[in-house]
Structure 1
Amino acid sequence: MSHSTDFPIRRMGRDDKHYFFGYYDKSNWNRAGTRLLGNQVPWRDAYLTPDLAANVGYFDLEGDSGFKPIGRTTAWNWQMGCQLQWVGMGGQSQAIYNIRTDDADARYPYFASEIVDIDTGGRRQLPIPIYVAAPDGEYALSIDYRRLYVTHETIGYSCDRYKPVLDNCPPDDGIYRVELATGEYRLLVSYADLANFHPRNSMRKAIHWVSHIEVNPSSDRILFLHRWTERVEDETCFLHRLITMNPDGSGLRLLECSDHPLPQLEDDFDPGAVGTFDYEKSEWQISHPLWRNDTEIIVWGPHDGGIHYHLYEDRDSGKVTAVGRGVLTENGHMTYSPVNPRWLLSDTYPDSTTHERVLFLFDMETGNRHELGSFYADPKLSKENRCDLHPRWRADGRAVCIDSMHELDRDMYIIDVSSVV
């Protein structure tokens, strides 16, 4: 296995363990750049069951650069980890992540979340798992990871080696808001609400779910993907909508819908013939949305007959602008620099022949793409245990962190991009 980069690159860990953080949407650096959150496991690519535990912790970049465990969890997956993230925008001594419990009567049985103060060692539990914590540190948003295990196993949590039977669009489940100070939670929008919001015929017999929930920098607006399908085993049958709302569940706004005919629903269609990355490369996919600022959202998806990186304005005007037309031609995990929105960081999925993933920066002012490196991805890995680069910015915008397996082990890497930005 190999990689190619002309930029300074530093591998974390360098021991007999494997390290990863997970998704692209949360920076694992604290604002001071002295601590780097991550997960530590003894396996490179294990099939996940409820008894497999990961150590949760951080690399001490100010000290010996060693990994410092702060907890342990069995509520995780290879794509998103345990939703480990910093709490608030201040000193960021607290981190939050998902755990399993023995509470069968919890809103989502046996799942919860835990906040740990790294400086004091103090910890407390919240009675519900979280998806994302608002930047202001006041609240977090929650969904049912058992539902994700049924609908989109890659980002769900395994359920005792079986998939539970769930209602298609229940009125008592959806996106919950939990107050981080008290643990109190309430339903903001239900699946029944979403099925009745600009309804489509394709929704009537489908199971519904939500993913990619993100809060804007001011914590006063929320985006999410509403998805539905009649065939959960085939991701090319997923249908998608990009929606925003207020933190109290009001002000729903539909920004994009990719509902389209599905020949895959015919009885003679073979889901096994679908390639590992066919879903991410689908011409109908709406994926990887993230706030550029308080009112703009970058996303990969179709609009007005073409699929591109698109910039949406979260306003009634519905303005949509294609980004990097002819240059950014395939899906990726994209984020803007936290200090200069001129720079868009992203990656590609593996090339079907070389199995290489490309990491790059896109200059919004000049339209130029600067390649940061190419990293080999083992084609034998499955959909569930693959290792995407998922690039994440440091707060000063001068370095990025990726997960990669190009050196066989699953590891985290820091890449210095200061010479470009």
Structure 2
Amino acid sequence: MSMSAPIRRVGDASAHHFFGYYNKSNFDRDDKRLLGQRVDRFTGDITGQETAIVGYFDLSASDQFHEVGQTTTWNWQMGSQLQWVGKANQIIHNARWDGPARDTPYPDFCSKLVDLDSGTTRTLPLPVYVLAPNGDYALCVNYSRFMVTHKTIGYPATQTEPELDLAPADDGIYRMDMATGDYRLILSLAQLKAHQPRPSMGKAIHWITHLEANPSGSRFLFIHRWTERVEDETCFLHRLYTVNGDGTDLRLLECADHPLPQLADDFDPNAVGTFDYEKSEYQISHPMWKSDSEVIVWGPHDGAIHYHLYDDTTGAARVIGPGILTENGHMTYSRDGRWILSDTYPDASTNERILFLFDTQTDTRHDLGSFYTPPDLGKHNRCDLHPRWSHDNKTVCIDSVHEGTRQMYLVDVTDIVSE
């Protein structure tokens, strides 16, 4: 089912703009300012030398762009992890450490907290992945590990890439206090490897991704991944976990370990299509909280892959949108839990991606638009739609390249969600 959903570009496209991932809103609490990164290029490999301007568009003042900082610590998928800090008039983004050598878990990188009222900037010792919704703490991981395991979301080192153990006891998930900058390791890769271990883990490199705190900040979810063949994402193995905010009460919701014929010596990873990984029947990706105790994810359960909604307490899972939501996408719930906002990956023949809303009360899908992406962008430089809700759930922001530049767009869904 298709309905009218007016769309407009943000800004004058005098430069390229994008926000990044789908898991956090780039709208401020009043839906009047829109975070984004401004760059001077449409595409290209990121080496750690390129600068992104960090700032926001004032939607109430003709989309005027306000610069609040700059960073060389960014990628095309997640940007600089730019995000609002709780209900304060503050933003945070990742940055490259430019001071004297220091003894921190990830010495090349840090984060910058900018107070928009005072104009002051405070440096925090670790790069962030995501903040708790109230802004009290951040969850932090190793972006240098991503450079080996999932380069699309990594940050290049300042000088030399660090050597990485496969599953060390001193790397994993750090929790950083936003007020003090104090941090501690609350869950290590060694612990995850030892938790209900699988034979496939023995020779594999391990990492953690897709962290997300629940609305109250009491628990967070993440995906534990491991592989022996980092160059082929179809060889990634996955487990979906939730855990308390302090690293206690670890719960395994799903394990997608499976045989890997691709590990044969004669397998050609170049034969794998750009988006084959996203369409794998064993993929676990894009988990998000619906509530403090419910998690939606694209993944397999009981031998079939769907949008599954898990009960974090019992581990029970049920299919959402059977026969309708049949492709992997970047999904989030509206505040009232009725609507799912999501997208698709590019169609192999048309290179078009669909943005849609799904009404969980009526099991009705509303396609909002189709957006072309050049097929030669490749894996690391691609531009997923990564749809994000406004706080009043009447507007959707996406990143897109369908007009030949990389820009952010606003889609008005008022008529649909108000019907």
1:333 to 330, 333, 337: 330
1:72 to 50, 60, 70: 70
1:345 to 329, 341, 362: 341
2:396 counterpart residue number = 400
Paired-residue identity, %: 61
Aligned residues: CA RMSD: 1.2
How far did residue 159 of structure 1 move? 2.5
2:47 counterpart residue number = 49
2:179 counterpart residue number = 181
Whole-angstrom CA distance in 2 between matches of 1:16 and 1:420: 32
2:208 to 207, 210, 228: 210
Whole-angstrom CA distance in 1 between matches of 2:101 and 2:357: 46
Please show how residues 5-404 of structure 1 align to structure 2 within 5 Å. Answer: 6-88=4-86, 90=87, 92-102=88-98, 103-105=100-102, 106-159=104-157, 163-315=161-313, 317-338=314-335, 340-404=336-400
Whole-angstrom CA distance in 1 between matches of 2:267 and 2:157: 28
Q: Structure 2 vs 1, CA of residues 5 and 73 (structure 1 numbering), >3 Å: closer, same or farther? A: farther
**What SS is found at the alignment partner of 1:68?**
strand
Whole-angstrom CA distance in 2 between matches of 1:390 and 1:162: 31
Listed one character per residue, the Cα deviations across residues 297-353 of structure 1 (whole Å, up to 9, x for unaligned) are: 0100000011000000111x2110100010000100000012x21100000000000
Q: List 4+ stretches of structure 1 deviating above 4 A.
A: 160-163
Residue identity in the other structure for 1:326: G
**What SS is found at the alignment partner of 2:234?**
helix
How far did residue 162 of structure 1 move? 6.4
Listed one character per residue, the Cα deviations across residues 94-146 of structure 1 (whole Å, up to 9, x for unaligned) are: 00010001354232021000100112201100011000010111100100100
Q: Is the 8 A contact 1:49 1:160 kept in 2?
A: no
Q: Is the 8 A contact 2:328 2:345 kept in 1?
A: yes
1:420 aligns with 2:416: yes
Q: Structure 2 vs 1, CA of residues 275 and 104 (structure 1 numbering), >3 Å: closer, same or farther? A: farther
Question: May I ask how many residue pairs the two structures share in their alignment?
Answer: 414
Listed one character per residue, the Cα deviations across residues 278-313 of structure 1 (whole Å, up to 9, x for unaligned) are: 000000000000000100001000000110000001
How far did residue 67 of structure 1 move? 1.0
Runs of at least 5 residues in structure 2 that lack an aligned partner in the other structure: none
Q: Is the 8 A contact 1:16 1:42 kept in 2?
A: no
**What SS is found at the alignment partner of 1:352?**
coil
My pick for the range that moved more, 95-104 or 228-237, is: 95-104
Q: Structure 2 vs 1, CA of residues 163 and 234 (structure 1 numbering), >3 Å: closer, same or farther? A: farther
Whole-angstrom CA distance in 1 between matches of 2:160 and 2:306: 37
Listed one character per residue, the Cα deviations across residues 363-413 of structure 1 (whole Å, up to 9, x for unaligned) are: 101111000000001101010000000000000000100000000000000
**What SS is found at the alignment partner of 2:402?**
strand
Whole-angstrom CA distance in 2 between matches of 1:38 and 1:136: 21
Compute the TM-score of the two structures, normalised by the length of structure 1.
0.97
Listed one character per residue, the Cα deviations across residues 1-47 of structure 1 (whole Å, up to 9, x for unaligned) are: xxx98421110122330000000000000110111000000000021
Runs of at least 5 residues in structure 1 that lack an aligned partner in the other structure: none
Whole-angstrom CA distance in 2 between matches of 1:308 and 1:161: 42
